[in-house]
Each structure stands twice: as C-alpha cells, then as structure tokens.
Amino acid sequence: MEALYWGCLFGGILFAIVSVLLGDVLSSAMDGVLDFLSFDFFNPMVIAGGITVFGGAGIMFTQYTNMAAGAHVTLSILSAIVVSILVYFGYVRPMENSENSTGFSEKELAGRIGTVTVPLPAEGFGEVMVRVGAGNTAHIASSFDRKILPAGARVVVIDVVEGVLRVSELEERKGDE
C-alpha cells in the first residue's frame, strides 16, 4: 500500500511541476479534449491536489501511527476529500468568478455617456468615444435629433441601429456631473 501512496505523492508533485512549466502549451494542445467533464469540481487542480494529499497523508499515517491499513486508507481518502473541497471553494471557484472580460455587446451601450471625437452633421455620421469597463471605445455615430454636434460635445447613446450609435446631446443641469 505504501507504494501506492508514494506513487500518488510523486505523481501529484510531477503534475504540479509539469502544469506550471508547460501549462499554456498543454492547455492549447488539449483544448476541448476534456469538455465532456463539464463539472467544475473535476478541475485538474482539484483532482491532482486530492491525489497528492491522498499519497502524502497515506505515507504519514503509515509511518507515524500504529493504525490498521484500512484506517490509513480511510483517513487518507477523507483528507484528500477535505483538501479537494478546500481547494475548490478557496481557490478554483473564486478564480472562475473573478475572470474579467473586455468584451461587450453594442446593445449595452444604450444609456451610456460619451464624447464626440469626430463632429456629427445633422444628416450623416461622425464618431463618439464611449467608456466601457476600464477603457474607451470609439464608434460610428449619428445624431438622433438631427442636430450638428461639435467635437468635444458630451452625448448620451439613445440606441444602436445596425452598428451605428444614435446619440443625443447631453443636457447638463447645474450641479450634475
């Protein structure tokens, strides 16, 4: 049984080293291979961590306690399950929830405030800069009210039609920002 524990411990350590050194290469090469395992708990970090803890705990229980072999196996499995749960809820799940995307839908731009960068004629197109997330994005725009809007004018996006922002001049009242 001790050989199994050592194998699990070294296998987990080897997996950790390989995934740190070759993680990007392996993920690109195996893109989509394990998609059928769509459960978040089957994350390789969780599984490899559990196997490593199983091996390490088994070795420690075998060498430092006088329990029977069945007790070693049971306690090693319980240790692996507990650590896997802790890794999943303490690291994997929060990291999945913290992923940020710079992508956005043009439909999300309605109601946003922007600045005219290329003047908008009454009939025709210009350009408006809109803040999205942590950056700015420039879009083709037209005047919703069919009024000339000079560069630097603050506007609000009314709607988006076929990729063109329809904007109206922002009427700021005293005390508004």
Nearest to 56 by CA among 1, 19, 8, 14: 8
* pLDDT at 170 exceeding the cut of 80: yes
Whole-angstrom Cα Rg for the chain: 29
Judged by average pLDDT, the poorest of 37-51, 102-116, 141-155, 158-172 is 37-51
Beta bridge partners of 130: 114, 137
What confidence tens digit (pLDDT) does each residue in 32-60 have? 565 555 456 667 778 888 999 999 999 99
pTM exceeds 0.75 for this model = no
Confidence at residue 99, expressed as pLDDT on a 0 to 100 scale:
58
Tokens, residue 83:
């650590």
CA distances in angstroms from 44 to 21, 80, 139, listed in the order given? 15, 14, 41
User: Tens of pLDDT along 54-85?
Assistant: 999 999 999 999 988 889 899 999 999 999 89
Residue 128 banded pLDDT, cuts 50, 70, 90: very high
